[in-house]
Structure 1
Amino acid sequence: LLLGAVGLRNDAHGSEAHTSDELRLLIDQSKESGEIQDSEHELIENVFQFNDRMVKQIMVPRTKLAALDVNAPEDKLLEKIFSEGYSRLPVYEGSIDNIVGVLNVKDLLPIVRRGEPLELARIMRPAYFVPETKKINRLLRQFQRKHIVMAVVSDEFGGVSGIVTIEDIMEELVGEIQDEYDNEVPVVEKISESEYRVNTSTPIPDANEYLPFPLPEGDDYETVGGLLNVLYGNIPEVGDVAVLEPYEFRVLSRAGRVVEMVQLRVLTPLASPDVDPLAA
């Protein structure tokens, strides 16, 4: 498929075989020459990156997790279920680190129609757990084999890091999937030539696609929010400012202890934007 897109012959055993780096170079050249469109180029790039991505890079983190307490009163449960609007919700007992099942909302509807008592423990389905470090290409195959669409993500200590769905995986290939119920939040919104508003849950590589100078990547963080934690050294307040050349960062909004939006303002451009300013 990739070879065909750039007019190459698939001869894996002969002299025409190409390494992945060679293919990427050919694909970049095909984009520059107009042989493939930007959208096609992006899709092919996503395919190259797909096998290297881990669950922790695409999951919904626990700070944004909507979950149900198995022992909550029925009225509170129904209010939570219908206000969240998701088709599936993890169910916990005691704390979010003790996920005991997953509610499929379609299993709830017959009970509501018949006016029967709601017992989550009776109608919830088993939860499927995966480690943060699992490769998403392998998880996709497991989803297909097991006929499931959601997994609970565990950290190295057995706590819950978040959840990952088949939609999250597919978005790594085809881009963001929005339906009529989604409130679309742009990854990076350009305010002016020197100002950008950034959603802090955005992975660093994704943010860098829209910014004039790349943000530094690191082993200790995956997202813009993780970079902010390193930069500030604490949980910043709304309005707090920090500088990481060539940007000035200003916190725009928080939800509890999590920064949601940050504004980046370009200062005097660096002579070499490839320098890692965190290495100093």
Structure 2
Amino acid sequence: MMMLEYAGELLIEHGLTILAIIVLIALSGFFSGSETALTAASRARMHSLETSGEVRAATVNGLIERKDRLIGALLIGNNLVNILASALATSVLLSIFGDSGVAVATLTMTLLLVIFAEVLPKSWAISRPDRFAMAVAPMVKAFVVVVGPMSSFVNWIVRHIMSLFGVTFASETSMLSAHEEIRGAVDLLHREGAVVKADRDRLGGVLDLGELEVSDVMIHRTSMRMLNADEPPEVNVRAVLESSYTRMPIWRGSMDNIIGIVHAKDVLRALADASNDPQRIDIVKIAQKPWFVPDTTSVPDQLNAFLRRKAHFAIVVDEYGEVEGLVTLEDILEEIVGEIADEHDTEVQGVHQEADGSVVVDGSVPIRDINRALDWSLPDDEATTVAGLVIHESQTIPEEKQAFTFHGKRFIVMKRDRNRITRLRIKPADKL
């Protein structure tokens, strides 16, 4: 009975103080949760909502634009209420427990602040950051307006202290480029199962376009199918009709002297006009003017040029004007969507998965294609094909049966034709 009366007296005497402590702990939770939600909110989602007329999303975007000012203000508010709550609790518990009240206040406030001002609000905020951020944004904005100048002053002090140690940083400069941020998000979602491999590869293909030149995606001159203008007309007509390609370059005298591009439709029209007599066709006259592009042209620029000129086919030349290969609109699109096959395409046996886990590949297979097909990460900065990668890494032209280990793979040269590696076997280095 006496204990109840004593407790009642304490509540009456310190009731307002205890109520103030509860309110301060709630405010601390508000600041902690707001900081977590506003820093974790999706900027893309907020931008989408803002464009659709959501006022609170616009407020969130405005706060995030000055993230250093926002976080500084929230930390000032959080520390202010935490210190005040701890001081009030110490005052109350000292009057109850005497000198031991300091220890009791420390333990009590630590427990209360960790549970109700840190873990609980932050867990709530991180579980639904967008919704939480929009809910608290108006109140946080008003607080930042009041405390913002103090936050800016604190940040100024911090920057000058950091500069004494040789550390400088820009608050509004991201460590990652926009492409890297998107790529990292897509890779993370793929690992979590939210994005399938095919979608990840397509998005990665779009992001990679800016890093590629036409020399990276072209068909090399050794793989080009071309017509010789000095051949009899029936030979060239038969070559066009039997080819799986709709356009073929035609040369005269030298393969570097390409004089036109022959379209299969033009050949068919000429053949119909000549009563199906190929000897009456002058294939040079029906050839279209060739379009030459430098091998250093970026892939996005070439794609735009294709669309602007309404063309599908270009001859790639080096700085000396010698033919290196050809590039088509389909080659560029395949960098985004993967291999495009139709009913007239011949199946290229470039990659063979073996039963022992190894992979047999043609030397001319592009590194990007094998990375996409097998989910590997072989570097393609210094070489375009698998054979080129082996030559670059070994710094020599290997002999048959030679083997090399790099980038976590074992490369075995199976076949070589003069100075060209035509076939290799690749197996994981940890399975040797």
TM-score range, shorter chain: 0.7 to 0.9
Are residues 54 and 109 of structure 1, via their aligned partners in 2, closer, same or farther at CA, if it must alter by over 3 Å? Answer: same
C-alpha separation in 2, matches of 1:124 and 1:204: 34
Identity of aligned residues (%): 28
Distance 1:218 1:30, change over 3 A: closer
Aligned counterparts of 1:36 and 1:29: Cα–Cα separation in 2: 9
State the 1:242 CA deviation. Answer: 1.3
What is the DSSP-based 3-state SS (H/G/I as helix, E as strand, rest coil) of the residue aligned with 1:9? helix
Query: Counterparts in 2 of 1:135-154, with a 5 A limit?
Result: 135-154=298-317
| Cα displacement string for residues 115-152 of structure 1 (whole angstroms, at most 9, x for unaligned residues) | 36111221111001111111111111111111110000
* Cα pair 1:103 1:120 within 8 Å, conserved: yes
Structure number with the higher strand fraction is 1
AA aligned opposite 2:235: K
Superposed, which structure 2 residues align to 1:24-173 within 5 Å? 24-113=183-272, 114-115=274-275, 117-173=280-336
Q: Are residues 129 and 10 of structure 1, via their aligned partners in 2, closer, same or farther at CA, if it must alter by over 3 Å?
A: farther
- Cα deviation for residue 66 of structure 1 reads 0.7
Counterpart code for 2:312: V
Q: Which amino acid aligns with 2:186?
A: I
Amino acid across the alignment from 2:252: E
Given that residues 252 and 258 in structure 2 are in contact (C-alpha distance below 8 angstroms), is that contact kept between their aligned partners in structure 1?
yes
Q: Deviations over 1:224-265 (max 9, x none)?
A: 1223444483485xxx111111414132475x8644432224
How far is 1:24 from its partner?
A: 1.9
Structure 1, unpaired ranges of 5+: 1-5, 271-280
- Provide the C-alpha distance between the structure 1 equivalents of 2:379 and 2:289, rounded to a whole number of angstroms: 40
Aligned match of 2:147: none
Decide whether aligned partners of structure 1 residues 38 and 8 sit closer, same or farther in structure 2, where only a CA change above 3 A counts: farther
Say whether 1:224 aligns with 2:224: no
Indicate how the Cα distance of structure 1 residues 53 and 120 shifts in structure 2: closer, same or farther if over 3 A, else same.
Answer: same
Pick from 395, 402, 411 the counterpart of residue 242 of structure 1: 402
Report the AA paired with residue 44 of structure 2. L
State the Cα deviation string for residues 162-191 of structure 1 (Å, max 9, x = none).
Answer: 111111010011000011122223553320
Quote the residue 1:195 is aligned against: 358
Residue 174 (1) aligns with residue 337 (2): yes
Give the distance between the partners of 2:381 and 2:43, measured in 1 at CA.
Answer: 37
Residue pair 1:197, 1:264 contacting (<8 A) in 2 also: yes
Shifted more, 12-21 versus 93-102: the winner is 12-21
Q: Deviations over 1:190-239 (max 9, x none)?
A: 203442111322222432455697545453x3211223444483485xxx
Equivalence for 2:424: 262
In structure 2, the CA distance between the partners of 1:158 and 1:243, relative to structure 1 (3 Å rule), is same
Rounded Cα–Cα distance in structure 1 between residues aligned with 2:181 and 2:356: 34
User: Given that residues 251 and 262 in structure 1 are in contact (C-alpha distance below 8 angstroms), is that contact kept between their aligned partners in structure 2?
Assistant: yes
- Normalised by the length of structure 2, the TM-score is 0.54
Shift of 1:108: 1.2
Deviates most, 30-39 or 169-178: 30-39
**Cα separation, partners in 2 of 1:248 and 1:168, compared to 1, 3 Å:** closer
Moved over 6 A (4+): none
Counterparts of 1:213 and 1:49, CA distance in 2: 16
Counterpart contact for 1:253–1:262, Cα < 8 Å:
no
Partner of 2:45: 9
Q: CA deviation at 1:112?
A: 1.3
User: In the aligned structure 2, how far is the partner of 1:27 from the partner of 1:63?
Assistant: 37
Counterpart of 1:39 in structure 2: which amino acid?
Answer: A
* SS of 1:171 mapped into structure 2: helix
2:24 corresponds in structure 1 to none
Name structure 2 gaps, 5 residues minimum. 1-41, 49-60, 66-173
Contact 1:185 1:199 in 2 (8 A): no
Q: CA–CA distance in 2 between the matches of 1:176 and 1:211?
A: 14
